[in-house]
A and B are shown apart, each in its own frame.
Chain A
Amino acid sequence: MKKETTEELFMKWIDGALSPDEEKQLQVLMEGDSNLESELTRMKALSESLHAEIPASVEPPYGDFFNSQLMRKVDLEIKAQHPAKKAERWWQSLRWAWAPAGALALVLSFFAGHRISRTSDTQGLASSSRMESSMASLTEVYFAGEALEAEVISDSEGQVSAIVVNGLSAIRDDIDFVTVSTEANLPSTYRNFEARRFQ
């Protein structure tokens, strides 16, 4: 039989918790060891002495003080978990009104936006003429040289436009654009600028 099983049988015998089957098993062990029963009987007596000699309950000294000290600690614990709230500012007390005020502002904004949108619809013609004038202002072309003039040609919807520049000197036929020197026929300021850029 395993050691753990025999120990369990011994303890159960002392505590009077053996089942009939376990009792039979222990009986077999006792028959094989003449000292076992007396040893277990002594253990049982010790168990009874322990029960009788050591009190299960002993009031702590100064029981009232024990409770009052403990409850003080409990109060501190409660306060730590739920700290006292700070005094509210006057405007904080009005926070209940924030939600309806916000909702009202939203509604007013909606109606105001709606009205503006309707006004724009009725003024569609004016608006398109304003668009044409803005297109016209866009078609102004600025040149540093006064001898140059530009003509802007655009379609009726303003989606395609072409700029025709008049007054430019003709490009010589003998210029080879592939091998042309960057310094040839260019103003000196531009040449200096290009030189700094490539440094």
Chain B
Amino acid sequence: MNFFRWLTSKNLMAPAGASPDAGASEQEVPDHELIKACQKGDTRAFESLVTRHRGKVYAMVQNMIKNEADAWDLSQEVFLKVWKALPKFEARAKFSTWLYRITHNVVYDWLRKRKIDSAGELDDGILNQSDIAAGSRTSPSTSARPDQALANSELGQRINSALATLNAEHRETILLREVQGFDYKEIAKVMDCSLGTVMSRLYYARKKLQSLLSDEKRND
């Protein structure tokens, strides 16, 4: 590795938040540049890509399986698969869509395996409130007044509990749309289904969530 490349890699490697410029320097190098470097075998560029995207992947997996330890392992698996598949990645595709497609596959493989192991059903029953890890994050990332924070935290917990009762497809559709902000086409690509199916899943997921949260409110 030549000195210039080493220096660039060092810059990329600086952890976000270590210095005010650290995050900015990471943002300077676009994903596609890092991907090109990765495709040439540059592992430091790959580590930068991981550092940039690991939070989103981990949040997605964690919200899907509601288990912190497994979410950590599965996120590792996602990125390892990304490394293996990167040589085949075509620049015209959107990296985030591709990354979430791999995440989708890893999560569904895990759910399938878990279904086989427990001989249960891959449906609403597989993830219930008892599956939610004690330390799972439910509060918003922005700071708020203590009373507001408590209220928000309660709402967040209720939403998380309601989400856990949805089946995997509905939960993933909601998360991709509402949390990750994907458009319908991107969701269809990630989940490998038609636009109509995305719309339908989104409609029933929202309706069910609405109904669950209303019931909870009424019970309170």
Point out residues on A near B: beta carbons under 8 Å: 4, 7-8, 10-11, 14-15, 39, 42-43, 46-47, 49-61, 63-64, 66-67, 69-71, 73-75, 77-78
Binds A, one of B45-53, B101-109, B124-132: B45-53
The contact of A11 among B79, B175, B202, by CB within 8 Å, is B202
Set of chain A residues within 8 Å of B75, measured between Cβ atoms: 60, 66
Interface contact A43-B76, CB-CB below 8 Å: no
Contacts A43-B206, A54-B175, A77-B84: A69 and B76 contacting too (C-beta < 8 A)?
A: yes
Interface contact B76-A73, CB-CB below 8 Å: yes
Binds A, one of B21-29, B57-65, B112-120: B57-65
Cβ-closest 6 pairs across A and B:
A57-B55, A50-B178, A58-B59, A53-B156, A7-B203, A60-B58
B60 to chain A, nearest CB (A): 9
Interface contact B199-A11, CB-CB below 8 Å: yes
Interface contact A43-B79, CB-CB below 8 Å: no
Contacts A7-B199, A47-B206, A66-B54: A55 and B137 contacting too (C-beta < 8 A)?
A: yes
Interface contact B155-A67, CB-CB below 8 Å: no
The contact of A55 among B59, B184, B196, by CB within 8 Å, is B59
Q: List residues 169-193 of chain B with CB under 8 A from any CB of chain A.
A: 174-175, 177-181, 184
Set of chain A residues within 8 Å of B174, measured between Cβ atoms: 50
* A62 and B192 alpha carbons, distance in the complex (Å): 32
Q: Mostly helix, strand, loop or mixed at chain B's interface?
A: helix
B45 to chain A, nearest CB (A): 12
Interface contact A70-B206, CB-CB below 8 Å: no
Set of chain B residues within 8 Å of A47, measured between Cβ atoms: 178, 206
A16 to chain B, nearest CB (A): 12
The contact of B59 among A57, A70, A75, by CB within 8 Å, is A57
Could you list 17 examples of A-B contacts with CB < 8 Å?
A7-B200, A8-B196, A46-B213, A50-B179, A51-B178, A52-B140, A53-B140, A53-B152, A54-B59, A54-B175, A57-B58, A58-B58, A58-B59, A63-B15, A66-B75, A70-B50, A71-B47
Set of chain A residues within 8 Å of B84, measured between Cβ atoms: 77
* Sample of 20 further A-B pairs with CB below 8 A, known A11-B199, A58-B59, A59-B54: A10-B203, A46-B206, A47-B206, A49-B159, A50-B209, A51-B181, A52-B140, A53-B159, A54-B159, A54-B163, A55-B59, A56-B56, A56-B181, A57-B58, A63-B54, A70-B47, A74-B46, A74-B80, A77-B80, A77-B84
Set of chain B residues within 8 Å of A66, measured between Cβ atoms: 50, 54, 72, 75-76
